[in-house]
C-alpha cells in the first residue's frame, strides 16, 4: 500500500476542478495548470525510483483489497509512461500559452486538458478492467470537448465522426468486459490473469481476447485508424499535439498490458493477428503519409505509422522486441508532440498548411528549421537520436524471431516516414523566401521555447539512453513475466 | 587512446565553434580556422603509419550504451589508416581550395563549413568504427551531410532535387545495410566487425548468410554509386565544386568501397560475392565511361567518370575476393583508390577553376583557354592523362595493375571463370577506351581551339595562386606516385591488404612490389591499343556520336526514378483516397466488417459456440411479448422516414428495457432508466425544432444490402457471444464477497454498496465525466469562434 500512487491522477483532477471555479483569471489558469503538471511529473519520477528500488507499488482504493475493490498499480512500464505524459503535456500546455487564444482559455481549456491527463494517467495506473473503462471515458469525454472547443466548422465536422466512432468502440469495450466477467467472474487484471492461466485460455477466451484486441486497436489506431487523420488535424496545435502524443498511446498501453498480462497464452493467434495488423498499419499509414501535401495530414499519418511499429514489438513477443517497443513508445510520445508543435508553428507563420504554398522559411527562422530537421532525423530513427535504439531493438527482435516480413515492413516504414516528413523540410524551409518577416501571418514568439525543451528531451533520450536502459529493462521484464505483477497486486504467494 | 578519440571527435567539436567564428571574426575567411582541423588530423595519422606498418593493431572502446553492447569501439588497421589519411589529406586540400573558391562576402560560410566538418567527422567514424551500430550511425550521418551540402544553394530547384534524390537512394541503402548488419550480428552473436571476421567460417552455411550479404552489398552499391543506383551522383554535382571534389569523388562515395573491402574477409570465397561485386563493378565501369563521353557539362562528365572509376575499384575488389589466386587485384584496387583521389580531386578543382573564371562549364562554349590559363591547362593535362592511364602518371601504374588483375581472373577455373572469365579483360579494355576518349575531351575541348571572348560573361584570366595550390599539390602527387610507387605500397597498401586478406598472410604473404616497366607484356599492348583506338574514336566522334540518340530516354534509370517517384505519390494518393472517404458511415462499416471477420472468424474457426440454458430461469410469456415489442420498435426506427417516429421508437425500446428491470426485480435501476429515457426523448424532441427533414437514404440496393448483412452480422455475433459466455462460467464469480455488504460496508443494498463504497472510485470518475460533459456543452454553445469570425 502506498498512498502516493494515486497522486498522478489526483493532482490534475483537483487542479482542474479548482480552475473551473476561476474561469476569468487567465494568469491563474496558466500557471496553476503548469505547476500541477510539473508536480505530477515530480511525483511520477519519485514513484518510478520507488518502483526501481522496492518493486511494484499498489494502492487498494477505499481499503478494499484486490480482487474485490479497485487497485491502482504502478509498475515500471506504467511509471515510465506517466512520467513521459507529464513531460509531453508540460510542453503542450506551455505552447498553448501563446497559441490557444484568450477565448478558449476562458472556456475551461486548461481544466479540460487537466481532466484529459487525469484520464490518461488513470488508464496507466489502474489494475482493474472496469476502472480502465471508466478512465477511458474520462479521457474520451475530455477529448470530445477539446476537439470541438471553439466550434469552428471543421472542428464540428470532425468531432461528430470522432465521437461516434469512439462511442461505438466504448460499447464494444463494455460488451467485452461483460463477456469476460461472465466467463471468469472477476475484473481485476491480475486476478483475470491468474484465473485464465488456471483454466486455460480455451477457444472462447481467445475470441473474447480478439474482441478486446479490436476495441483497443480502435483506440490505438492500429489498422482501424480511419477516424484519426481528420480528427487530429482539426483542433488547434496544442490540442492536436497532446492527442497525437498521448491518446493513441493509451490504446497501445492497453494492448501491451492485456496481451502480456492476461491473454498471452495463444500468441500464435492473437499476437500474429497483432503483427498482421501492425504491418498493414505501417504500410497503409506510410502510403497515406507520402501521398499528402498538407502538413497536418502528413503529421497525422505519421502518428499511425508509429503505432504499427510499436505494436510490432508486442506482436513478436520476445523480450528484445518488447523492450524495443517500449523505447520506441516513449520516444514517439515525445517526438510526435514535438512534431505537432513544430508543424503548428510553421503553419502559423506561413498562414497555410499546404506545402505547395510555402517556401524558404529557413532564412528567417533558422532555429525552427533546424529543430524540425533534427526531429525528422529522430523520427526516422537515425542514430544517435531518440528513435534509433527502439528501432534497432524492434527490428532485431523481429528478425531473431524470424518475422522477416515484419522487419522488412518496419524498415520500409522508416523510409516512408523520412520521405514524408523531409518533404515538409525541403518544400517549406528551402527554396526562395517569399515572405519577409513583416508579411508573415503569425509569430514564433513564445512558441519556440516548448519546442526547444522537447527537442532537448529527445536528444537527451538518444544520447543518454544508457541512463534509462535499467528502467526499460525492468519494464520489459515485468511485461514478459506476469507473475511479478500478479504477486504485487494479489499479495498471495 | 584518448588522443585517437579526440582526433575523431574534433571535427564535430569544431563544428560547434564555426558559427561563432563566422560571426565574431568576419574579417578572416572562416576556412582558415577550419583548415587546422584536417591538417592536424592528417599529421596525427601520418604518425600512426609506422605503428600500423609494424603490424600492430590499435583496439579501443568508449562506452555509449554498454548495457546493450553498443560502444564506440575503434579498430585501427591498414585499411582504416589508408582511409583516414585520404579523408584528412584531401580534406585539408579541399578546405584550402574552398577558401578561394567560396566568397567571403556572398556565401553562408558557417553553414558550409559546419556541414563539411560534420561530414569529415562522420567519414572518419565509418573508417574507424568497429561496432556495427556506430558504423551505421556514421554511415547515415554522411548521407545527411551530403544531403545538406548538395542543397547548399537551397534556393535552386535543381539543388533540392539532387539533394532529395541522393538522400532517398542512400537511405534505402543505409536501411538495407542496417538490416544486413543486424542479420550478421544474429549469426555471429556479436556487434564487433573484428569478431565477425573471426567467426566467418561458422556462418557460411547459415541460412541468413546470403540475405545479409545481399543487404550489405545494397548498402555499399547505393553509397558508391554503382549501376543502377548511380543516378544520384550526377545530380549531386549541384553542390559547390569543393564539395563535389571531396564528398562525391574522393571520400564519401568510397565508403561503399570501404565497406566491401572491410567485409571481404567475411563473405569472400563464395561465388555470389565474387560475381555480384565483380559484375556490378564491371557494368558500372562500362556504363559510366560510356555515358561520360556524351556529357556537355564538364562536371557531369567528371561525375560519370567517377562512377566508372568506382566501378573499376569495385570490380577489382570482387576479383580479389578469390584471393588465393588473384592477389594483384586487391593491390590494384587499393592503389587505384589512392590514385583516383589524387587525379580526380585535381580534375574537380581544375573544373571548378574554369567555372569560377569563365562562368560556364559547357564544352560547347568553352575552348581556346590554353594561353590564358596555362597553369590550369597543365594541371588538366596531368589529371586527365593519369585518368586515361598514360605514363608518366600514377594512373598508368594502377591501370596496368587493373589489366593484370582481370587477366589473372580470366585464367582462373573457379566460379565459372573458365567460360565467362574471358569477358572481363575484353570489357575492361572497351571501358578503358571510353575513359581515354572523355579524358581527351576534358583537355582538348576546354583548352584548345579558338578563344572566343564573346562567349564568356566576364573577362577570363588565370586563377589566383591560392586556388591553384591544392590542385598543384595533387598533380605533383600524381607524378610522384608514378616514380616512387613502392613508398605508398610498402607503408600503406601492404598493411591495408593484410586487413582485407588476413588469410593470405598465413599462406605465405603476397607480392606488393609495383614496377614501372615489366617488359612487353599483354598489359602494355592493351594500353597501347587503348591509346590508338581511343585517339581514332576521339577524332571521329562527330561521326558516331549519333548512337547516343538511340538510347531511348524512357528506359534510363533517371526516367524510372522520376516517374517512379511521381507515380508512387499518385498511386499512394489514389489508394488512400479510395478508402479514406471522410464519410463516417464508411468508417463504421469498415470497423463492423473487421469486427465480424476477426471476432466471428475466430468464433467459427475455434468452433466455440455453445449454448447451455440449464442454469437459466424459465422464460415467461410476457417476457416474450416484451422482446417482440423491442424488436418491432427497432425495425420501426430503421424503416421510418419521419424523425418523430424514429424517436418514439427509440423511446419505446428504452421504456421496455425499464420494464425488464422491473421484472428482474431491480426497481432502482428501472426508475433510473425511466428518468434517463424520459429526459432523452424530451431533449430529442426539443432539438427537432432545429433539424432539417430526414433525407432519403443514399446509395443503391447493393450498398443497402451490404449494410444489412453487416449489421445483422454484428447483431447475431454479439448475441451468440453473449449466450456462449453466459453458458460457460469457468470459475465462480467474486460477487459472493459483496453479499456480506452489511457487515463489510454497513449497507443492506448490495448495488448501492458497490456504487458508493466498494467501487466508489468508479462512481466518482463517472461524476467527473458528467461534469465535463456539462461544461463541454456549455462551452460549445457559448464559444462559437466560427460564427463570431463571420460577423
Q: Please write the tens of the pLDDT for every residue from A177-218.
A: 999 999 999 999 999 999 999 988 878 899 999 999 999 999
Q: Please write the tens of the pLDDT for every residue from B240-295.
A: 999 998 988 888 899 999 999 999 888 888 889 999 999 999 999 999 999 998 88
Question: Is residue A60 within a helix (H) or strand (E), and if so which, with residue range?
Answer: strand A57-60
Q: Are B764 and A136 in contact (CB under 8 A)?
A: no
Q: Please write the tens of the pLDDT for every residue from B758-772.
A: 999 999 999 999 999
Position B487 pLDDT exceeds 60: yes
Residue B546 exposure: Cα atoms within 13 Å on the Cβ side: 2
Mean pLDDT of B622-637: 91
pLDDT at A87: 96
Q: Please write the tens of the pLDDT for every residue from B640-683.
A: 878 888 888 999 999 999 999 998 888 888 999 999 999 988 88
Which of residues 393 through 452 in chain A touch B, CB cutoff 8 A? 393, 395-396, 399-400, 407-408, 411-412, 414-415, 418-419, 422, 426, 429-433
Q: Please write the tens of the pLDDT for every residue from A399-428.
A: 999 999 999 999 999 999 999 999 999 999
Q: What's the pLDDT band for B405 if we cut at 50, 70, 90? A: confident
Position A252 pLDDT exceeds 80: yes
Burial class (CB in 10 A: 0-12, 13-18, 19+), B474: buried
Eight-class DSSP state of B691: S
Mean pLDDT over the full length of chain B = 87
Position A337 pLDDT exceeds 70: yes
pLDDT at B511: 65
pLDDT: which is higher, B615 or B214:
B214
Q: What's the pLDDT band for B324 if we cut at 50, 70, 90? A: low
CA triple B389-B391-B392, angle to 5 deg? 130
Search chain A and give the residue with CA nearest B763: A134
Query: Is A167 in CB contact (< 8 Å) with chain B?
Result: no
Query: Is A176 in CB contact (< 8 Å) with chain B?
Result: no
Other C-beta atoms closer than 10 Å to the C-beta of B729 total: 14
Mean pLDDT of A334-347: 94
CB nearest to A419's CB, from B140, B155, B168: B168
Q: Please write the tens of the pLDDT for every residue from B459-479.
A: 788 888 888 999 999 999 999
Q: Is the dihedral of CA B63, B64, B68, B73 positive or negative?
A: negative
Position A442 pLDDT exceeds 80: no
Q: Are B163 and B150 in contact (CB under 8 A)?
A: yes
Other C-beta atoms closer than 10 Å to the C-beta of A259 total: 23
Which residue out of B66, B68, B134 would a mutagenesis test of the A interface target, given it has the greatest number of A Cβ atoms within 10 Å?
B68
Position B698 pLDDT exceeds 70: no
Q: What's the pLDDT band for B791 if we cut at 50, 70, 90? A: very low
Which of A188, A79, A184 lies closest to A130 in space, CA to CA?
Answer: A188
CATH class of the domain defined by B584-748: mainly alpha
Backbone angles phi, psi at A107, to 5 degrees: -100, 55
Mean pLDDT of B559-588: 88
Mean pLDDT over the full length of chain A = 92
Q: Please write the tens of the pLDDT for every residue from B207-226.
A: 888 999 999 999 999 999 99
Backbone angles phi, psi at A465, to 5 degrees: -60, -25
User: What gap in Å lies between CA B475 and CA B507, rounded to an integer?
Assistant: 38
pLDDT: which is higher, B617 or B98:
B98
**Cβ pair A182:B151 closer than 8 A:** no
Q: What's the pLDDT band for B323 if we cut at 50, 70, 90? A: low
pLDDT at A493: 44
**Cβ pair A411:B730 closer than 8 A:** no
Structure ipTM over 0.90, yes or no: yes
- Cell numbers that stand for B770 in this block: 458528467
**Cβ pair A186:B599 closer than 8 A:** no
**Cβ pair B591:A419 closer than 8 A:** no
Position A97 pLDDT exceeds 80: yes
Position A131 pLDDT exceeds 60: yes
Q: Please write the tens of the pLDDT for every residue from B129-179.
A: 999 999 999 999 999 999 999 999 988 888 999 999 999 999 999 999 999
The rounded Cα A483 to chain-centroid distance in angstroms is 26
Query: B779 has which bridge partners?
Result: none
User: What gap in Å lies between CA B88 and CA B45, rounded to an integer?
Assistant: 8
Position B508 pLDDT exceeds 80: no
**Cβ pair A291:B575 closer than 8 A:** yes
Supply the DSSP string of A290-332, one letter for each residue. Answer: HH--BHHHHHHHHHHHHHHHHHHHHHH-SHHHHHHHHHHHHHH
% chain B with pLDDT above 70:
96
**Cβ pair B576:A135 closer than 8 A:** no
pTM here is: 0.93
CB nearest to A138's CB, from B768, B775, B787: B768
**Cβ pair A226:B590 closer than 8 A:** yes
> Quick check: helix, strand or coil at residue B8?
helix
**Cβ pair A172:B595 closer than 8 A:** yes
For the ranges A67-81, A106-120, B13-27, B360-374, which has the lowest average pLDDT? Answer: B360-374
pLDDT at B787: 56
Which of residues 337 through 356 in chain A touch B, CB cutoff 8 A? none
For cell 544517435, the residue is: A384
Distances (CA, A) of B151 to A33, A117, B154, B164, B173: 44, 43, 5, 9, 20
**Cβ pair A107:B141 closer than 8 A:** no
**Cβ pair A223:B594 closer than 8 A:** yes
For the ranges A51-60, A206-215, A474-483, B694-703, which has the lowest average pLDDT? Answer: B694-703
Q: Please write the tens of the pLDDT for every residue from B729-748.
A: 888 888 888 888 888 888 88
Question: Is residue B93 within a helix (H) or strand (E), and if so which, with residue range?
Answer: helix B78-101
Q: What's the pLDDT band for B790 if we cut at 50, 70, 90? A: very low
User: What gap in Å lies between CA A313 and CA A393, rounded to an integer?
Assistant: 9
> Quick check: helix, strand or coil at residue A74?
strand
Torsion (CA) B575, B578, B580, B584 in degrees, nearest 10:
-160
Mean pLDDT of B510-537: 81
Domain edges within chain B: 268-500+513-539, 584-748, 749-791
Which of residues 230 through 289 in chain A touch B, CB cutoff 8 A? 230, 269, 273, 284, 287-288
Torsion (CA) B749, B750, B756, B759 in degrees, nearest 10:
180
Torsion (CA) A261, A267, A271, A273 in degrees, nearest 10:
-140
Amino acid at each position: 500500500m502506498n498512498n502516493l500512487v494515486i497522486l498522478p491522477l489526483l493532482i490534475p483532477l483537483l487542479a482542474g476542478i479548482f480552475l473551473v471555479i476561476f474561469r476569468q483569471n487567465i494568469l491563474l489558469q496558466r500557471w496553476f495548470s503548469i505547476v500541477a503538471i510539473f508536480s505530477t511529473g515530480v511525483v511520477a519520477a519519485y514513484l518510478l525510483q520507488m518502483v526501481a528500488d522496492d518493486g511494484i507499488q499498489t494502492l487498494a482504493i477505499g481499503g478494499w483489497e484486490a480482487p474485490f475493490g479497485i487497485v491502482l498499480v504502478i509498475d515500471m512500464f506504467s511509471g515510465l509512461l506517466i512520467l513521459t505524459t507529464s513531460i509531453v503535456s508540460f510542453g503542450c500546455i506551455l505552447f498553448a500559452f501563446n497559441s490557444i487564444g484568450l477565448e478558449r482559455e476562458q472556456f475551461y481549456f486548461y481544466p479540460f486538458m487537466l481532466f484529459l491527463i487525469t484520464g490518461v494517467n488513470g488508464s496507466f495506473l489502474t489494475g482493474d478492467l472496469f476502472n480502465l473503462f471508466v478512465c477511458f471515458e474520462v479521457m474520451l469525454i475530455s477529448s470530445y470537448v477539446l476537439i470541438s472547443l471553439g466550434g469552428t466548422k471543421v472542428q464540428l465536422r470532425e468531432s461528430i465522426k470522432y465521437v461516434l466512432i469512439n462511442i461505438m468502440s466504448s460499447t464494444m469495450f463494455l460488451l467485452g468486459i461483460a463477456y469476460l466477467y461472465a466467463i471468469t467472474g472477476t475484473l481485476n487484471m491480475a486476478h483475470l490473469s491468474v484465473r485464465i492461466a488456471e483454466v486455460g485460455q480455451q477457444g472462447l477466451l481467445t475470441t473474447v481476447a480478439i474482441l478486446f484486441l479490436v476495441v483497443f486497436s480502435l483506440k490505438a489506431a492500429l489498422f482501424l485508424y480511419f477516424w484519426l487523420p481528420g480528427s487530429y488535424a482539426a483542433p488547434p496545435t496544442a490540442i492536436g499535439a497532446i492527442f497525437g502524443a498521448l491518446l493513441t498511446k493509451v490504446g497501445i498501453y492497453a494492448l501491451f498490458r492485456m496481451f502480456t498480462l492476461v491473454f498471452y497464452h495463444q500468441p500464435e493467434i492473437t499476437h500474429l493477428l497483432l503483427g498482421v495488423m501492425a504491418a498493414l498499419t505501417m504500410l497503409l499509414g506510410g502510403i497515406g503519409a507520402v501521398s499528402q501535401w498538407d502538413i497536418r495530414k502528413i503529421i497525422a499519418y505519421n502518428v499511425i505509422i508509429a503505432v504499427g511499429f510499436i505494436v510490432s514489438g508486442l506482436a513478436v513477443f520476445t523480450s528484445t522486441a518488447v523492450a524495443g517497443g517500449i523505447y520506441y513508445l516513449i520516444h514517439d510520445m515525445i517526438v510526435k508532440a514535438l512534431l505537432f508543435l513544430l508543424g503548428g508553428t510553421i503553419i502559423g507563420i506561413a498562414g497555410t498548411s499546404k506545402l505547395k504554398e510555402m517556401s524558404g522559411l529557413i532564412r528567417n527562422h533558422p532555429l525552427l528549421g533546424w529543430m524540425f530537421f533534427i526531429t525528422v532525423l529522430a523520427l526516422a530513427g537515425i542514430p544517435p537520436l531518440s528513435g534509433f535504439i527502439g528501432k534497432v531493438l524492434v527490428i532485431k527482435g523481429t528478425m531473431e524471431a524470424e518475422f522477416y516480413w515484419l522487419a522488412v515492413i518496419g524498415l520500409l516504414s522508416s523510409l516512408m516516414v523520412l520521405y514524408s516528413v523531409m518533404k515538409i523540410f525541403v518544400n517549406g524551409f528551402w527554396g526562395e523566401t517569399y515572405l519577409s518577416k513583416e508579411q508573415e501571418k503569425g509569430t514564433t514568439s513564445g512558441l519556440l521555447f516548448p519546442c526547444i525543451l522537447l527537442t532537448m528531451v529527445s536528444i537527451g533520450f538518444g544520447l543518454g539512453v544508457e541512463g534509462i536502459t535499467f528502467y526499460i529493462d525492468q519494464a520489459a521484464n515485468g511485461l514478459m513475466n506476469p507473475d511479478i505483477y500478479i504477486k504485487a497486486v494479489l499479495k498471495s504467494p | 587512446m584518448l588522443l585517437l578519440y579526440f582526433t575523431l571527435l574534433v571535427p564535430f567539436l569544431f563544428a560547434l565553434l564555426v558559427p561563432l567564428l563566422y560571426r565574431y571574426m568576419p574579417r578572416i575567411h572562416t576556412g582558415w580556422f577550419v583548415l587546422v582541423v584536417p591538417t592536424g588530423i592528417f599529421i596525427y595519422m601520418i604518425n600512426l603509419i609506422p605503428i600500423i606498418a609494424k603490424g600492430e593493431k590499435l583496439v579501443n572502446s568508449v562506452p555509449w550504451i554498454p548495457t546493450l553492447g553498443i560502444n564506440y569501439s575503434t579498430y585501427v588497421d591498414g585499411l582504416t589508416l589508408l582511409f583516414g589519411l585520404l579523408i584528412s589529406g584531401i580534406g585539408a586540400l579541399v578546405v584550402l581550395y574552398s577558401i578561394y573558391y567560396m566568397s567571403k562576402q556572398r556565401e553562408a560560410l558557417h553553414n558550409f563549413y559546419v556541414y563539411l566538418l560534420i561530414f569529415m567527422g562522420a567519414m572518419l567514424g565509418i573508417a574507424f568504427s568497429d561496432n556495427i551500430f556506430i558504423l551505421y550511425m556514421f554511415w547515415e550521418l554522411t548521407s545527411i551531410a551530403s544531403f545538406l551540402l548538395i542543397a547548399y544553394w537551397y534556393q535552386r530547384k535543381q539543388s533540392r532535387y539532387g539533394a532529395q534524390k541522393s538522400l532517398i537512394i542512400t537511405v534505402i541503402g543505409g536501411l538495407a545495410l542496417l538490416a544486413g548488419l543486424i542479420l550478421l550480428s544474429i549469426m555471429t552473436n556479436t556487434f564487433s566487425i573484428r569478431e565477425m571476421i573471426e567467426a566467418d567460417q561458422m556462418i557460411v552455411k547459415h541460412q541468413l548468410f546470403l540475405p545479409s550479404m545481399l543487404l550489405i552489398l545494397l548498402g555499399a552499391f547505393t553509397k558508391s554509386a554503382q549501376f543502377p543506383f548511380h543516378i544520384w551522383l550526377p545530380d549531386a554535382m549541384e553542390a559547390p565544386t569543393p564539395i563535389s571534389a571531396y564528398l562525391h569523388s574522393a571520400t564519401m562515395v568510397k565508403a561503399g568501397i570501404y565497406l566491401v573491402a572491410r567485409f571481404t574477409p567475411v563473405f569472400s570465397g563464395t561465388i555470389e560475392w565474387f560475381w555480384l561485386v565483380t559484375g556490378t563493378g564491371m557494368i558500372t565501369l562500362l556504363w559510366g565511361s560510356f555515358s561520360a563521353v556524351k556529357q556537355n557539362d564538364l562536371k557531369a562528365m567528371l561525375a560519370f567518370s567517377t562512377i566508372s572509376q568506382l566501378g573499376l575499384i569495385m570490380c577489382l575488389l570482387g576479383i580479389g575476393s578469390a584471393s588465393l589466386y588473384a592477389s594483384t587485384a586487391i593491390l590494384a584496387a587499393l592503389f587505384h583508390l589512392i590514385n583516383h583521389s589524387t587525379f580526380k580531386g585535381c580534375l574537380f578543382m581544375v573544373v571548378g577553376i574554369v567555372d569560377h573564371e569563365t562562368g560556364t562549364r559547357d564544352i560547347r562554349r568553352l575552348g581556346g583557354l590554353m594561353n590564358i590559363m596555362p597553369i590550369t591547362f597543365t594541371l588538366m593535362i596531368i589529371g586527365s592523362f593519369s585518368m586515361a592511364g598514360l605514363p608518366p602518371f600514377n594512373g598508368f601504374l594502377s591501370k596496368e595493375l587493373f589489366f593484370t588483375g582481370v587477366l589473372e581472373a580470366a585464367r582462373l577455373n573457379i566460379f565459372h571463370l573458365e567460360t565467362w572469365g574471358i569477358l572481363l579483360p575484353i570489357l575492361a579494355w572497351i571501358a578503358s577506351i571510353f575513359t581515354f576518349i572523355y579524358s581527351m575531351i576534358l583537355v582538348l575541348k576546354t583548352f584548345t581551339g579558338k578563344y572566343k571572348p564573346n562567349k564568356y560573361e566576364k573577362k577570363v584570366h588565370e586563377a589566383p595562386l591560392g586556388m591553384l595550390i591544392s590542385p598543384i599539390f595533387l598533380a605533383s602527387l600524381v607524378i610522384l606516385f608514378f616514380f616512387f610507387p613502392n613508398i605508398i605500397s610498402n607503408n600503406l597498401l601492404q598493411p591495408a591488404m593484410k586487413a582485407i586478406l588476413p588469410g593470405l598472410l598465413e599462406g605465405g604473404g603476397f607480392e606488393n612490389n609495383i614496377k614501372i616497366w615489366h617488359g612487353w607484356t599483354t598489359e602494355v599492348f592493351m594500353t597501347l591499343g587503348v591509346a590508338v583506338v581511343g585517339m581514332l574514336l576521339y577524332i571521329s566522334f562527330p561521326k558516331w556520336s549519333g548512337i547516343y540518340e538511340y538510347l531511348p530516354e524512357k528506359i534510363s534509370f533517371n526516367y524510372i526514378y522520376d516517374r517512379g517517384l511521381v507515380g508512387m505519390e499518385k498511386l499512394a494518393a489514389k489508394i488512400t483516397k479510395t478508402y479514406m472517404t471522410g464519410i463516417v458511415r464508411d468508417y463504421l462499416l469498415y470497423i463492423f466488417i473487421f469486427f465480424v471477420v476477426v471476432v466471428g472468424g475466430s468464433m467459427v474457426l475455434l468452433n466455440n459456440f455453445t449454448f447451455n440454458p440449464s442454469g437459466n430461469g424459465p422464460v415467461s410469456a410476457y417476457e416474450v411479448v416484451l422482446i417482440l415489442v423491442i424488436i418491432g420498435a427497432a425495425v420501426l426506427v430503421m424503416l421510418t422516414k419521419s424523425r418523430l417516429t424514429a424517436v418514439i421508437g427509440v423511446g419505446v425500446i428504452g421504456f421496455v428495457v425499464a420494464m425488464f428491470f422491473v421484472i428482474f426485480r431491480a426497481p432502482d435501476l428501472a426508475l433510473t432508466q425511466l428518468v434517463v429515457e424520459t429526459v432523452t426523448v424530451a431533449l430529442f424532441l426539443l432539438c427537432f425544432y432545429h433539424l432539417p427533414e430526414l433525407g432519403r437514404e443514399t446509395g443503391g440496393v447493393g450498398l443497402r444490402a451490404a449494410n444489412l448483412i453487416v449489421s445483422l452480422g454484428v447483431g447475431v455475433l454479439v448475441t451468440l457471444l453473449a449466450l456462449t459466455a453466459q453458458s460457460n462460467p469457468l470459475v465462480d464469480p467474486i460477487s459472493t464477497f459483496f453479499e456480506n455488504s452489511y457487515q463489510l460496508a454497513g449497507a443492506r443494498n448490495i448495488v448501492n454498496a458497490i456504487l458508493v463504497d466498494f467501487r466508489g472510485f468508479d462512481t466518482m470518475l463517472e461524476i467527473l465525466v458528467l461534469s465535463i460533459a456539462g461544461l463541454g456543452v456549455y462551452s460549445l454553445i457559448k464559444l462559437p469562434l466560427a460564427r463570431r469570425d463571420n460577423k
